[in-house]
Amino acid sequence: MSKWLKPPWLELNIMLLFAVVTYLVIFIVVTATPTPEGGMAGGVIWGWLVGFFIISTIIALVATVGGIGGGVLFTPFILAFTPIDSLIARGTGLIVAMFSGLMATGPVCRTGLANVKMCIFLCVAFGVSCFGGAMGAVAVAEHLGEFGEAAVRMLLGLVIGGLILYFIFGGKKIEWPDVKVSDKITRTLDLRQPFYEPSLKKVVDYGLTRMGWLFFGIMFVGTGSGFFGMGAGWAIVPFQNVIAGTPIKVAAANSVVLLGMGDCVAVWPYFMMGALVPILAAPWLAGQVVGGLLGALVLVQIKAGFVRWLLIGLMGFSCWGLITRALSMWNVIERPPHWMNGLVLLILLSFVMVNIVREFRNND
């Protein structure tokens, strides 16, 4: 039997078929339906839905490879380029992060790259704190001003900036940390899980440490995830790596599993507030399914150095967005125009690509 008819390609082909058929049916319906006076033409609505699906697929692929979840790219994009209410954008962002994680969970778990026992241990902290963060977001939207939200954004931006510096100068010890002795929690719960690494062509048996500190760190991360609706992979990955000594590829795989399990809890406060709109969420969900599967297949095969530099670029753009957003909310600066955000993203991507090419040439 052809590999295209076996999992995970079978699921991917079925999803693509359903997407194509669905959008064709929608196109036929909207073109046959007259446009009401003052309303948006059906063809324009169809164009937006198709565009959302394509962008969502790209976001899910990139986000899954980086282990950050699609919400960290989706939410800033929606807030920057559309007039959608921020509460709706954040609620949909959690849906996007959740589905990109759910679709990538199968491939990374089947290969053994994701440490399932470690994910279950951390999911307790992540799920509870995500729910608390989402409740906090609803409370802020109802009662508090912008100053407190800006302060949290600034704090998160500074934390991410520090982690970026660590990732840049940490080098190989970031990719494959050398943990000599595992901590008591790791030994008691037997959290170590060896896996086969294709890029090294050998089985990697890695140690873990400071799991108690990581548990509380993930609680902090989950609160921010639920509050901002951005997922939390941008922090889950470095927190696992920096605190517990988790290899970067394992941390990225664990991150998508945690996002799939934890963010499904955080969406409920947004749902109860009516901040989830089906016609907006549906194309983004479909794109996350396709892109998440593709990203998981790529993540298993690529080198750890690629993941590290990709994370540096994505975290850098998040850091820029959080800090400038906080300063603009405090009226310290004007909110950066779209062209400036695009220029910053282009510079960061160029920086990432140059370093990826340089590192791979040195390895060869």
Question: How many whole angstroms separate alpha carbon 8 and alpha carbon 102?
Answer: 13
Ranges 18-27, 69-78, 150-159, 288-297: which has the least confidence: 69-78
Under a CB-based contact definition with an 8 Å cutoff, are residues 153 and 325 in contact? yes
- pLDDT averaged over the chain? 77
The pLDDT of residue 216 is 92
Tokens of 150: 């800006």
H, E, C per residue of 137-191: HHHHHHCCCHHHHHHHHHHHHHHHHHHHHHHHHHCHHHHCCCCCCCCHHHHHHCC
Q: What is the pLDDT of residues 310-333, one digit of tens each?
A: 777 877 887 887 788 788 888 888
User: DSSP alpha helices (H): ranges in 180-303?
Assistant: 184-189, 211-228, 233-244, 248-272, 278-301
Q: What is the DSSP string of 68-83?
A: S-THHHHHHHHHHHS-
Maximum average pLDDT range among 97-101, 121-125, 153-157, 201-205: 121-125
Share of the chain above pLDDT 90, in %: 4
Question: How many whole angstroms separate alpha carbon 229 and alpha carbon 104?
Answer: 19
Q: What is the mean pLDDT of residues 27-54?
A: 77
Question: How many whole angstroms separate alpha carbon 169 and alpha carbon 192?
Answer: 27
The pLDDT of residue 214 is 92
Question: How many whole angstroms separate alpha carbon 271 and alpha carbon 60?
Answer: 22
Q: What is the pLDDT of residues 192-223, one digit of tens each?
A: 888 877 767 788 788 888 899 999 999 988 88
The pLDDT of residue 81 is 59
The pLDDT of residue 37 is 74
